[in-house]
Amino acid sequence: MKNPYEVLGVSQSASAADIQSAYRKLAKKLHPDLNPGDKAAEEKFKEVAGAYDLLSDAEKRKRFDAGEIDESGAERPQHSYYRNYAHSDGGHPYMDTSGFADFMDNDDAFAELLRRGQRSRANRRGEDLHYTLAISFVESIIGASKRLTLPGGGTLDVTIPAGLVDGKTLRLKGKGAPGAGKGGPGDALIQIEVLADPRFQRDGDDISIDLPISLTEAVLGGKIRVPTPTGDVSMSIPKGSNTGTTLRLRGKGAPRRGGGQGDEFVRLRIILPRHVDPELETFVSNWSAGKDFNPREDKS
């Protein structure tokens, strides 16, 4: 522990009033109620409070100056700890408002701030707890009911609204850590992770899918089954369709904010058989129009 005079920034000849003034100035700057969540300031305040605890007591100060006790209030020869340094509950006398009564008037603004801080701690709201929940792409589009297993073994039932996007955070009020006194529990904040689906891509409220079709379907057209988030539907393929041809399935996308649904766009991809059929090979070999057509020079 540092020399208490150095901690408070006063000389060894400082008066009791000077010590009180120095402590008061540092307390206003470092008190935990004024620096919520700042661990460095909290530790510094404990150090300042310890120094003031020693130097504000005339008898302790006299014994320290005489070398009978050290900076923590411990007897130097026996190395036992000064028992009055802390409360029986392990706290510090200047961590609540009671320790300030000896140098603050009742109408002091800082004292009132500390009193309010004490009351708020006695009725503190519980902390918010953060979790991550993975859902499928389809669940993000149509919604779902999920059960989240918590680290401690408990569970939370989570309603996934339709149209939820990756990274969205859901708030379950009152499902966080319990509060103190009259303070209510905190909330559970659940960040949603939408797992990728190899079939679908999302663009705003619309989704798209690449759909393979056969050469016969591309040339002659016909009806095929197309996956959507709500199940397969039938769609007509026009004659003469090409790779890259995009068809629209209205209302098969994600819900729109103002009502209605986005669309699903189906991009066609012509896929030939793995092994070339001899009959097809013969036909193409004898197909004069096909030989004359150069897709790299087609301007139509």
CATH of the domain at 182: 2.60.260.20
105 and 76 share one domain? yes
Using the 3D structure, point to which of 142, 168, 194 is the last residue of a domain: 194
Q: What confidence score (pLDDT) does residue 79 get? A: 41
The verdict on residue 299 lying in a domain is no
Domain that holds residue 147: 129-194
Task: For 178-223, write each residue's pLDDT tens digit.
Answer: 888 777 899 999 999 999 999 999 999 999 999 999 999 999 999 9
* Phi-psi domain of 222 (left: phi exceeds 0; alpha: psi -120 through 50; beta: other): left
In a domain, 300, yes or no: no
Q: Distances from the Cα of 179 to the Cαs of 59, 185, 215, in angstroms? A: 41, 5, 67
In a domain, residue 261? The reply is: yes
Claim to verify: residue 33 and residue 140 sit in the same structural domain: no
- What is the reported pLDDT for 195? 95
- What whole-number distance in Å separates Cα of residue 88 and Cα of residue 83? 9
pLDDT of 90 reads 44
Maximum CA pair distance of the chain? 115
Is residue 297 situated within a structural domain? no
Question: What pLDDT, on the 0 to 100 scale, is given for residue 53?
Answer: 87
Tell me which of 122, 156, 178 is where a domain ends.
122
State residue 120's pLDDT score.
Answer: 61
Q: Strand, helix or coil at 100?
A: helix
Q: What pLDDT is stored for residue 113 in this prediction?
A: 66
Which stretches of the chain drop beneath a pLDDT of 70?
1, 76-121, 299-300
* 32 inside domain: yes
In this structure, is residue 223 part of a structural domain? yes
Q: Which of 72, 92, 122 is the last residue of a domain?
A: 122
Domain count of the fold of the chain: 3
234 and 277 both lie in a single domain: yes
User: 177 and 102: one domain?
Assistant: no
* Amino acid 205: pLDDT: 95
Residues 9 and 116 grouped into a single domain: yes
